[in-house]
């Protein structure tokens, strides 16, 4: 059924790249998306939207985006649940990005290191490339909780979370 999300915002932190036991890359990041209207106190707020991206685009995200980078996401809303360490069921809504667009010019602020530049275009595209062969990274661990609460520690992401 129709399920489509498009976002443009800035990463609140560096993305986190992991690999499932079978070697599939996953990156998590949060986009801060400013609201187009002010609240009753006259302030502009933002939404902090958790995103996940799989496979090759996950590695591109990890390589090209850092805290503060401007990025566009085209994807789907997904929901899942897990039992936290108090045995309580937790419900999660997040955006599965099918493609990620890098909107930060390559030569800007903290992106200096990427200025190698193979293209005549300062922006890069993290599209979805279906056929790849990508099982170098490996990672496991006793993880049984929300990835978003688990920065950097070893985890065990099930391949069941794969969105295709």
Q: Which residues bind DNA (CB under 7 A)?
A: 9-12, 30, 32, 34, 46, 48, 50, 67-68, 79, 81, 89, 91, 120-123, 148-149
**Residue 163 binds which entry of DNA, a second copy, none, CB below 5-8 Å type-dependent:** a second copy
Among the listed residues 21, 83, 93, 117, the single contact to a second copy using CB under 8 A: 93
Based on the shown chain and the rule CB under 8 A, indicate whether residue 1 belongs to the binding site for a second copy. yes
Strand ranges in 20-127 using DSSP code E only, listed in sequence order = 25-38, 44-54, 70-83, 89-102, 125-126
Given a contact cutoff of 8 angstroms between Cβ atoms, the answer to whether 12 and 68 are in contact is no
**Residue 99 binds which entry of DNA, a second copy, none, CB below 5-8 Å type-dependent:** a second copy
Based on the shown chain and the rule CB under 8 A, indicate whether residue 153 belongs to the binding site for a second copy. no
For residues 53 to 92, the per-residue mask of contacts with a second copy, x marking binding by CB under 8 A and - elsewhere, is -----------------x-x-x-xxxx-------------
Alpha-carbon span 64 to 5, nearest angstrom:
22
φ/ψ (deg, to 5) at 71: -145, 150
Question: Which two three-digit tokens encode residue 57?
Answer: 């685009």
Select from 96, 50, 103 the least CA-distant residue to 75: 96
Total binding residues for a second copy by CB under 8 A? 44
Select from 146, 147, 164 the least CA-distant residue to 19: 147
Alpha-carbon span 88 to 135, nearest angstrom:
33
φ/ψ (deg, to 5) at 49: -110, 120
3-state class of 139 per DSSP? coil
Based on the shown chain and the rule CB under 8 A, indicate whether residue 117 belongs to the binding site for a second copy. no
Q: Which is nearer to DNA, 105 or 154 (CB)?
A: 105
Binding site for a second copy (CB under 8 A): 1-9, 33-37, 39-40, 47-50, 70, 72, 74, 76-79, 93-95, 99, 101, 103, 105, 108, 123, 125, 127, 130, 159-160, 162-164
């Amino acid at each position: 059924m129709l399920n489509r999300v498009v976002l443009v915002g800035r990463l609140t932190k560096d993305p986190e790249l992991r690999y499932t036991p079978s070697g599939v890359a996953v990156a998590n990041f949060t986009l801060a998306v400013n609201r187009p209207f002010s609240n009753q106190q006259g302030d502009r707020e933002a939404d902090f939207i958790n995103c996940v991206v799989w496979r090759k685009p996950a590695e591109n995200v990890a390589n090209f985006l850092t805290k503060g980078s401007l990025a566009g996401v085209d994807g789907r809303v997904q929901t899942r649940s897990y039992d936290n360490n108090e045995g309580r069921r937790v419900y999660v809504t997040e955006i599965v990005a099918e493609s990620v667009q890098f909107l930060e010019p390559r030569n800007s602020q903290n992106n200096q290191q990427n200025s190698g530049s193979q293209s005549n275009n300062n922006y890069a595209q993290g599209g979805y490339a279906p056929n790849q062969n990508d099982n170098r990274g490996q990672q496991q661990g006793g993880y049984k909780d929300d990835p978003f609460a688990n920065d950097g520690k070893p985890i065990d992401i099930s391949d069941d979370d794969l969105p295709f």
